[in-house]
A = this chain, B = another copy of it.
Amino acid sequence: MVLVSGGLDSTVCLAVAAAEGQTGRPLVALTFDYGQRHAVELVRAAAVASHYGAEPLVVRLETSAWGGSALTDPRVAVPEPAAEAGAGIPATYVPARNLIFLAVAMGVAEARDLDVVSLGVNALDYSGYPDCRPEFVASFAGTARLALKRGVEGRPVEIRTPLIDKTKAEIVGLGMSLGAPLELTWSCYRGEGKPCGRCDSCELRARGFAHAGVEDPALAGD
């Protein structure tokens, strides 16, 4: 199972899982509908899953019920990067997001007897989110082993983070080499229709493609 958001990283993560070969079972693409500002993410996630013939599983989370992030709370503005320079954890941080996503992923994996969960977090060129750091993922894996029946039985669910130590440029390069459908991916924190080009996420993405020496296929025709 791969956590698929419709963004660049999770798409490359899915490409890695697809390339790693056949378990005889189709991949499951787990997508969270957590009140993101833009439904475009869900559409892109479905398109990416479909590209790989993965079974789509969309789980709705009422993150907006408790708010606290620019990404899920309409009262919090998505910041301009300049406003945040050096500010540490940005306003687009969603409290406990990867903790919740991984927890649910463990429930699904155990219920369906899936052995591996992959997610596309990366600690380099990341956006300052604490729950993208390798020490968080490693600690989570240990906690999950204690929480799950499978862990008690000595068959813990393996958590893979194939992109954890890659730069955005390396992720772009890896995606291109695997033929990942990067033209389907969406990174912008803002607009619909076309990316704003100014938010943190757009900037990171643009830099990644520039350093990889590749044109962003999602911007083709602009």
| Interface positions of A (Cβ within 8 A of B) | 57, 59-63, 65-69, 88-89, 93-100, 102-104, 106-108, 110-112, 130-131, 133, 135-136, 139-140, 142-144, 146-149, 151-152
Contacts and interface: CB of A to CB of B under 8 A. Distances in A.
Chain A residues touching B, majority SS? helix
A110 B95 contact: yes
Name the residue in A69, A104, A106, A142 with the highest tally of chain B Cβ atoms < 10 Å from its Cβ.
A104
A7 to B, nearest CB: 19
Given A89-B149, A146-B130, A148-B130, A111 B136 contact: no
A157 B150 CA distance: 28
21 contacts: A57-B65, A59-B62, A59-B65, A60-B62, A61-B104, A63-B107, A66-B107, A68-B107, A89-B149, A95-B107, A95-B111, A96-B104, A96-B147, A99-B103, A99-B107, A99-B148, A100-B104, A102-B103, A130-B146, A135-B146, A140-B143
A135 B151 CA distance: 13
Contacts of A100: 100, 103-104, 106-107
Nearest to A28: B66
A91 B144 CA distance: 19
Contact of A147 (B61, B104, B111, B131): B131
Contacts of A136: 143, 146-147
Contacts of A106: 95-96, 99-100
Contacts of A140: 143, 147
A-B pairs with lowest CB-CB distance, top 4 = A68-B111, A96-B107, A95-B110, A103-B103
Contacts of A139: 139, 142-143, 146
Contact of A67 (B68, B98, B111, B149): B111
A112 B95 CA distance: 10
Contact of A144 (B96, B135, B151): B96
A71 to B, nearest CB: 12
